[in-house]
Copies of this chain bind each other. A is one copy, B any other.
Amino acid sequence: MTSRTNGEDRKPRLRADAARNRAQILAAARTAFRELGTAAPLDEIARRAGVNIATLYRRFPDREALVQQVVIDGFTLVIEAARHALDAAPQDSLAAIEGFLLRLVDARDILVLPLIGGPVPTTREAVELQAQTALLLEQLMSRARSQGTIRPDATHMDLITTAALTCRPMPYLPTEQAATLATRHVHIFMDGLRPNGTRPLPPSPTHEELSVHLHAGPAES
């Protein structure tokens, strides 16, 4: 091998190392945020990721950058699941909605920060992803309503609420049993979502109404 070949080999390896470090830092951040809140010490996150604190700062200049990336990763996963459900909806929209919820329950370790109840997205990218999520989920629910597979008064707000509630960590339960309880909850919720002629739901706040408050900081305290 010539030194030129070595040099060409090294660059992809460095990029691969950097990508692995980044992924390890994000995984450690999600665990630490879940256990200790978003105020978790950055050196604790670096320690859990097995990287130097300087490496952490090279990837994420401050806590906010790390928090926002975790938010973005969460929304990206939700959007993928929503697109998948929309593709499946023409055949069976009720199964598509349930599949969406169960897919999120399965991947809930990634969903530490997004959705209602998590910290507020503040970057332009996160806010756009949030709006896109709401749009895709309303398309999904709207298709199900027009197919008559769900009650006419259920909206994407109910889907977001349910995803947020069932995906929040239950840190004191073993993963498998927590997933079983969440799955039972999703099944019962799905049966309640059918158009079964019971009383109408109380009116839902709109996504826009909530977004105003979401960007104004914590309100319930």
Contacts and interface: CB of A to CB of B under 8 A. Distances in A.
A209 B173 CA distance: 10
Question: How many monomers of this chain does the complex have?
Answer: 2
A181 B161 contact: yes
20 contacts: A34-B221, A116-B170, A117-B170, A118-B172, A158-B181, A158-B185, A164-B170, A165-B185, A172-B217, A173-B214, A174-B219, A175-B220, A180-B202, A180-B204, A188-B189, A189-B192, A190-B192, A191-B192, A194-B196, A194-B198
- Across chains A and B, which 9 residue pairs bring their CB atoms closest together, nearest first? A192-B192, A191-B192, A188-B192, A165-B165, A117-B170, A177-B205, A174-B219, A161-B181, A175-B220
A185 to B, nearest CB: 5
Interface stretch (A10-18, A35-43, A66-74, A138-146): A35-43
Interface of A: 31, 34-37, 39, 116-120, 151, 154, 157-158, 161-162, 164-166, 168-175, 177-178, 180-185, 187-194, 196, 198-199, 201-205, 209-210, 213-214, 217-221
Nearest to A206: B177
Given A161-B184, A184-B202, A185-B158, A220 B116 contact: no
A184 B171 CA distance: 26
Given A171-B221, A172-B217, A190-B192, 8 more contacts: A31-B221, A117-B170, A165-B168, A177-B205, A180-B203, A181-B205, A188-B193, A192-B193
A189 B188 CA distance: 6
Contacts of A120: 172
Contacts of A196: 191, 194, 196
